[in-house]
């Protein structure tokens, strides 16, 4: 009888969902719990349980961290619901963050640095973390409209299966700096605008339009029909400096391991490569993207 009761207790405990803690830090702790889940991934980006790794799931994107990302979020007018600042921090840009937050009448809460460590997804919060509304993705049409409003030929970055949020953030930063009009991501098999990606972008994500599409192949076909040239980064291509990259263009960057997919490559108008002189067979995706983006800038003059 006792054994049966114990078995019932185990089943009952095993079936319980983790409740959201009902205290003043409940919201932050709940996000921390969800953000820190880890699973063993297979090659297709899924865990052993068949679920996508949570680091690629946009539902947990409720905060941004780091001095520069938070400051740029405040400058851009993004809705910040609450600001957490490490107790005693008032130096440098933290002072400006504090001032702007007070002007905007944002709730500011001073907490122990250890508490920020618990919430942080990257471990590099720099003493400040902001709870914000989820990142607002745009439509591809919005990106093209932005180029038209500026009177410029469209300059788009298309990312195929970029899984590392640090790479995504670095690409966004370079894209914003070189004047790209927007970035296009696939909805599946790709990292989204996670807190780590936002941090790595150093605030660039607040000013650059990012679209998510269900079918990347179809999107490239639509862009081609609009007169936009599709340039894919691949080892089979011509050297990038020898290719005309002026005019309306979309640069397609693939993952470091696999490069761009076969179907995506077939939709490219031409392929370009970056010469490698050493023994390593490929560049970091964000580095390759940066080289090609600035070649477009150079050729456009």
Domains of the chain: 25-134 (3.30.1330.30), 140-300 (3.40.1280.10)
Q: Which residues partner with 259 through β-bridges?
A: 255
Nearest partner of 283 among 257, 249, 245, judged by Cα: 257
What pLDDT does residue 155 have? Answer: 98
Give pLDDT, residue 18: 34
pLDDT band at 153 (very low <50, low <70, confident <90, very high): very high
Integer angstrom CA distances of residue 286 from 55, 58, 235, 291: 19, 21, 16, 9
In the prediction, which pLDDT does 210 show? 95
E strands along 42-154, which residues? Answer: 63-65, 80-86, 107-111, 128-132
Mean pLDDT of 15-44: 37
Q: Which two tokens stand for residue 173?
A: 């930063």
pLDDT at position 118 is: 81
As a whole number, mean pLDDT of residues 6-20 equals 39
What is residue 10's predicted lDDT score, i.e. its pLDDT?
Answer: 41
Share of the chain above pLDDT 70, in %: 79
Sequence-distant (6+) residues with CB within 8 A of 15 are none
Asked if 208 and 180 touch (Cβ cutoff 8 Å), the reply is yes
SS3 content of the chain, % helix, strand, coil (to 5): 40, 20, 35
What average pLDDT does the segment 73-94 reach?
Answer: 84
Separation CA 280–CA 41 (nearest Å): 25
Which conformational region is residue 86 in: left (phi greater than 0), alpha (psi within -120 to 50 degrees), or beta?
Answer: beta
The pLDDT > 90 percentage for the chain reads 42
144 is written with which tokens? Answer: 């093209």
Query: Hey, what are 215's tokens?
Result: 């079918």
The answer to whether residues 206 and 134 touch, using CB atoms and an 8 Å cutoff, is no
pLDDT recorded at residue 121 = 66
Q: Look at residues 130, 103, 111 and name the one whose alpha carbon lies nearest to residue 206.
A: 130
Instruction: Say how many C-beta atoms besides its own lie within 10 A of residue 253's C-beta.
Output: 26
Determine the Cα–Cα distance for residues 73 and 249; give it in Å rounded to an integer. 29
55-70 pLDDT, tens digit per residue, is 333 434 588 888 888 9
Q: Is the pLDDT of residue 43 over 70?
A: no
Q: In this model, does residue 291 exceed pLDDT 90?
A: yes
- Give pLDDT, residue 86: 87
DSSP symbol at 192: -
Question: What is the predicted pLDDT for the residue at 185?
Answer: 95
Q: What is the pLDDT of residue 2?
A: 43
- Of 32-36, 122-126, 237-241, 290-294, the one with minimum mean pLDDT is 32-36
User: For the chain, how big is the Rg over CA atoms in Å?
Assistant: 22
Has residue 200 got a pLDDT over 80?
Answer: yes
| pLDDT grade for 47, boundaries at 50, 70 and 90 | very low
117-136 pLDDT per residue, tens = 888 766 778 888 888 888 88
Cα(163)–Cα(256) distance, integer angstroms: 10
The tokens for 117 are 């460590």
Q: How many residues does the chain have?
A: 301
């Amino acid at each position: 009888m006792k054994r049966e009761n114990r078995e019932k207790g185990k089943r009952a405990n095993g079936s319980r969902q983790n409740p959201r803690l009902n205290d003043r830090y409940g919201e932050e702790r709940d996000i921390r719990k969800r953000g820190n889940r880890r699973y063993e991934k297979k090659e297709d980006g899924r865990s052993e349980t068949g679920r996508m790794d949570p680091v690629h799931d946009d539902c947990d994107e409720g905060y941004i961290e780091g001095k520069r990302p938070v400051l740029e979020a405040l400058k851009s007018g993004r809705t910040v619901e609450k600001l957490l600042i490490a107790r005693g921090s008032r130096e440098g840009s933290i002072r400006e963050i504090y001032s702007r937050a007070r002007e905007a009448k944002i709730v500011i809460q001073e907490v122990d640095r250890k508490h920020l460590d618990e919430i942080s997804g990257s471990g590099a919060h720099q003493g400040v973390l902001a709870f914000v509304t989820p990142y607002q993705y745009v439509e591809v049409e919005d990106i093209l409209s932005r180029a038209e409003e500026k009177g410029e030929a469209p300059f788009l970055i298309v990312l195929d299966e970029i899984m590392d949020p640090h790479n995504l953030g670095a690409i966004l930063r370079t894209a914003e700096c070189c004047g790209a009009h927007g970035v296009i991501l696939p909805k599946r098999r790709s990292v989204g605008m996670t807190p780590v990606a936002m941090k790595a972008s150093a605030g660039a994500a607040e000013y650059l339009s990012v679209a998510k599409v269900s079918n990347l192949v179809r999107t490239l076909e639509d862009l081609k029909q609009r007169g936009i040239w599709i340039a894919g980064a691949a080892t089979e291509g011509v050297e990038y400096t020898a290719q005309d990259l002026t005019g309306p263009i979309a640069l397609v960057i693939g993952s470091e391991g696999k490069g761009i997919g076969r179907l995506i490559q077939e939709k490219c108008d031409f392929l370009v490569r970056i010469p490698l002189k050493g023994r390593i067979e490929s560049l970091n995706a964000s580095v390759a993207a940066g080289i090609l983006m600035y070649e477009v800038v150079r050729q456009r003059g």
